[in-house]
Structure 1
């Protein structure tokens, strides 16, 4: 159910950012292990779960958007388009996430290479993994917040 007040929306943003921090910690834990490919697989799995969960919390999953009345749906789709997000209101798939992760390519390549340097490399890989997950997750939360806020304010405007 989408938030009905700005206070609910702010609380929801805080809740989602806490979820992102928790998932970033799990990503960092996977990055410490010196097993090739484990960290990328873990990141994709975490994102496949986290991004749709954030969408649902803000009332922005494809199913929730489809169930809206046509006028509100139109407002929401315009808001989503205006922020240019590839993940808000979309069905999140592995290829879509891999495309997103390619943009973080240098950071991910550094993370993968760094973890094979004893101790210091693993710490660097964990911090890069944590940072990348926080970056992607918090950006998505901010995008969802922006869309939900636009829709909430549009609902509150008096009809003319």
Structure 2
């Protein structure tokens, strides 16, 4: 009777967790990026997600909608409005602007009449607009060299210029950024503000996919990672109840591998993200340390051999007599409890190591910026 109840209870929990988990994984956040050619739109996209998804350095005029995808975030680089192919009269319909969850208007110097028109139209149809001034590292250097201005004075000058162009239009905010120095300035604030203006499951999807630029974003990612662990732990519990001869262990490892890769992406520790970090930092001593630790992390949590070694250690620490106090539901069989606890412990170690590595990356990459 207890086993039957346990099976039914775990099945119900897994179905609910899977429903929520799949909803987040299948959700999409559609973001429009608008701005003049050479304004740094591609670099901004890459900085937002912490990996290279858009080619940088190509400055030809956008003649069609360019789409870039990073997991659940879908970016659309919009063509300029008011051209023969994209006349203002039909621009909203041609670009399907009502389909976007957010609009980022990018500038590296000044606003144009069509930029202001687009901002007004997007606000009119109820879409949140974020104005981003890119290449601020260059502006700071130029301000210091040309006018002997401090960093603060350059910030104030640029913000005042933007506000004078926008006037009383109710945008969500003005954000000064540098894609070369993503931790610095306003990029993390932009990401947090976008997330706060999203609704429902889109909030989770967005936070799962953006770069972990500060502690606030890291905290949001921790919540999402714990959900992935819960789903994996209950799946392992079900696997313990319904063992498949010859496949029980391999199924457990498959669950852990899937969970590890998902959490690795959430924290921006996958290969693409590390490669983007390499591009920014170069092959210096700080990055060499990070690269080594990232490889050790992957070998421990994302390689089958490393997972088996960790499972052996966890198995020693989790005695069968201790299983029942770890089971979060009543009347479950020991095999399910062991599977649940081992997966949960593995996931906790994974989250702890992920966050420690991210924090070290933030510190070391910031050290490169301040050199």
CA distance in 1, matches of 2:338, 2:365: 40
When residues 90 and 104 of structure 1 are mapped into structure 2, their CA distance, relative to the original with a 3 A threshold, is closer
When residues 146 and 154 of structure 1 are mapped into structure 2, their CA distance, relative to the original with a 3 A threshold, is same
Which has more strand, going by share of residues? Answer: 2
| Aligned partner of 2:257 among 44, 48, 59 | 48
When residues 8 and 49 of structure 1 are mapped into structure 2, their CA distance, relative to the original with a 3 A threshold, is same
State whether residues 27 and 133 of structure 1, in contact with CA within 8 Å, keep that contact through their aligned partners in structure 2: yes
1:101 equivalent in structure 2: 311
CA distance in 2, matches of 1:59, 1:89: 16
**Number of residue-to-residue matches in the alignment:** 151
Shift of 1:61: 1.1
Shift of 1:133: 0.3
CA distance in 2, matches of 1:34, 1:55: 28
Instruction: Compute the TM-score of the two structures, normalised by the length of structure 1.
Output: 0.74
CA deviation vs aligned residue, 1:85-132 (integer Å, no higher than 9, x gap): 84348793323322332323446896xxxxxxxxxx961111111110
Alignment of 1:104-143 (within 5 A): 104-106=314-316, 123-143=333-353
Give structure 2 stretches of 5+ with no counterpart.
1-48, 50-210, 321-330
Which has more helix, going by share of residues? Answer: 1
1:8 equivalent in structure 2: 217
CA distance in 2, matches of 1:64, 1:127: 35
Which of structures 1 and 2 has the bigger CA Rg?
Answer: 2
CA deviation vs aligned residue, 1:19-68 (integer Å, no higher than 9, x gap): 10111000001101244444322210011111121111111112321232
Of structures 1 and 2, the one with the larger relative CO (CA 8 A, separation 6+) is 1
CA RMSD of aligned residues (A): 3.4
1:153 equivalent in structure 2: 363
Q: Secondary structure at the match of 2:333?
A: helix
Shift of 1:141: 1.0
CA distance in 2, matches of 1:75, 1:81: 10
CA distance in 1, matches of 2:273, 2:253: 24
Q: Secondary structure at the match of 1:67?
A: helix
